[in-house]
Amino acid sequence: MTTPSTIRVVIPLKVKRRNGRPRIVPPADLDAVDEPMPDPRTLRAIARAWDWRRRLERGEVTTLSDIAQAEQVTLPFVSRTIRLAYLSPMVLERLLIYRRPSALPLDKLAAAALAPWAEQPEMIFD
């Protein structure tokens, strides 16, 4: 009799719904990593801001109003969110590569993007 060439690993996970979205939850007795992760909404907002910035730079759209119409969102939302594309490289590295969470909510993070790059890391992470 030959041994099977595959190994089956079973991890008892639960699927719970939160705000209508499924979320995989590990078992309670499993040691969770205590390292905080950034909010997925923040990561999505940064990606969206960079997409809008690239579209402006390529000439696909000419104004923020064009983006707002195409995305079916308000102009103030676009103008506030696009600021995230102008965060300092150090802040973006800590948020996106090292996955450090921001100490600020998304609206204050966008406002912090207006500060000089040298001041942003203290404002956002401390």
Domain boundaries, given as residue ranges, for the chain? 40-125
pLDDT for the residue numbered 36:
62
Q: Sorting pLDDT into bands at 50, 70 and 90, what band is 15? A: confident
Global pTM exceeds 0.85? no
* Distance in angstroms (rounded) separating the CA atoms of residues 68 and 89: 26
pLDDT tens per residue across span 23-61: 777 666 655 555 566 778 899 999 999 999 999 999 999
Q: Copy the structure tokens of residue 122.
A: 């203290």
pLDDT for residue 22 is more than 80:
no
The interaxial angle of helices 64-71 and 40-58, nearest 10 deg, is: 130
SS3 content of the chain, % helix, strand, coil (to 5): 50, 10, 45
* Distance in angstroms (rounded) separating the CA atoms of residues 60 and 67: 10
